[in-house]
Amino acid sequence: MKIKKDYILFLLLLVIIIFTAYFLISNSGSVKSTVVNDVRPSYLSVSIPPIEDLKVIINNPKFQEMKYIQSFFDRVVVGRRGRVNPFMPFAQGKEE
């Protein structure tokens, strides 16, 4: 009798695991797509204009009169930070 109870318990646990795995796999596609769409910036959803439209803009005389004032991004200069790597071997001076 104990073997039947263990067998039924094992089958019940196996069925629960299979249903859980099926539920997670079937819903993972919709969750993944919503997360990716929420993270993407809005300018990625706009299509790139055709090359003819870009040529019209670049050949426009008002566009050619524009002058460079400053760079759009500020440069990031990284100085020496942190501690020296303790695992790097000592540098040997050049012998003459």
Of residues 3, 22, 25, the one with CA closest to residue 14:
22
The answer on pLDDT for 95 being more than 70 is no
* Domain residue extents for the chain: 2-65
> What token pair was written down for 26?
């079937």
Amino acid at 14: L
Given a cut of 80, whether residue 2 has pLDDT beyond it is no
Tens digits of per-residue pLDDT, 12-70?
Answer: 999 999 999 998 888 766 555 555 556 777 777 888 889 999 899 889 888 888 887 77
Q: Tell whether pTM > 0.75.
A: no
What are the DSSP calls for 31-61, one per residue?
A: HHHHHHHHHS-GGGGSPPPPHHHHHHHHT-H
Q: Is the pLDDT of residue 76 over 70?
A: yes
